[in-house]
């Protein structure tokens, strides 16, 4: 069930992230010397429903500097993973932390604030 307040907060947060990353990318392109640090990261998902997975994929892809490359859906029933390309992944931990923050906000929107964070 969608939680209206958390959904609104997520949409506003995502719009601000898109704007922030657009400025970062634009500044990098217009100034001498690129600051990019491209990387592909496997991100294990806590999101499980089709809506949640599609929403996190779309959110990642519309954010400038990131792109969802694919979803790994193991046959043994373990959680899915996303493969994400980052232009600005200066550290693996930092890139994963960004994705975790996005996913946590999304899960609050779909599950409410009491969702199980484990």
Instruction: Return the structure tokens found at 56.
Output: 């996190």
Q: Give the model confidence (pLDDT) of 28-62 as tens digits.
A: 999 988 888 999 999 999 998 999 999 999 999 99
Asked if residue 66 lies in contact with residue 80, where contact means CB atoms within 8 angstroms, the answer is no
DSSP string of 42-102, one letter each residue: EEE----SHHHHHHHHHHHHHSTTEEEEEEE--TTSPPPEEEEEESB-SSHHHHHHHHHHH
Give the separation between CA 51 and CA 70, rounded to whole angstroms.
16
How does residue 1 score in pLDDT terms, banded at 50, 70 and 90? Answer: low
pLDDT at 6 over 70: yes
Point out which residues pair with 28 in neighbouring strands: none
Give the separation between CA 43 and CA 82, rounded to whole angstroms.
5
Rounded mean pLDDT, 5-10? 92
Q: What is the pTM of this model?
A: 0.88
How does residue 116 score in pLDDT terms, banded at 50, 70 and 90? Answer: low
- For helices 50-62 and 4-30, angle between their N-to-C axes, nearest 10 degrees: 30
pLDDT at 114 over 80: no
């Amino acid at each position: 069930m969608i939680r209206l307040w958390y959904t609104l907060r997520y949409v506003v947060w995502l719009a601000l992230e898109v704007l922030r990353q657009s400025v970062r990318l634009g500044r990098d392109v217009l100034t001498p010397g690129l600051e990019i640090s491209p990387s592909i990261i496997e991100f294990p998902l806590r999101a499980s429903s089709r809506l949640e997975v599609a929403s996190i994929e779309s959110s990642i892809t519309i954010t400038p500097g990131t792109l969802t490359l694919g979803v790994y859906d193991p046959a043994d029933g373990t959680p899915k993973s996303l493969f994400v390309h980052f232009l600005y992944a200066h550290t693996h931990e930092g890139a994963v932390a960004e994705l975790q923050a996005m996913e946590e906000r999304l899960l609050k929107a779909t599950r409410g604030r009491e969702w199980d964070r484990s």
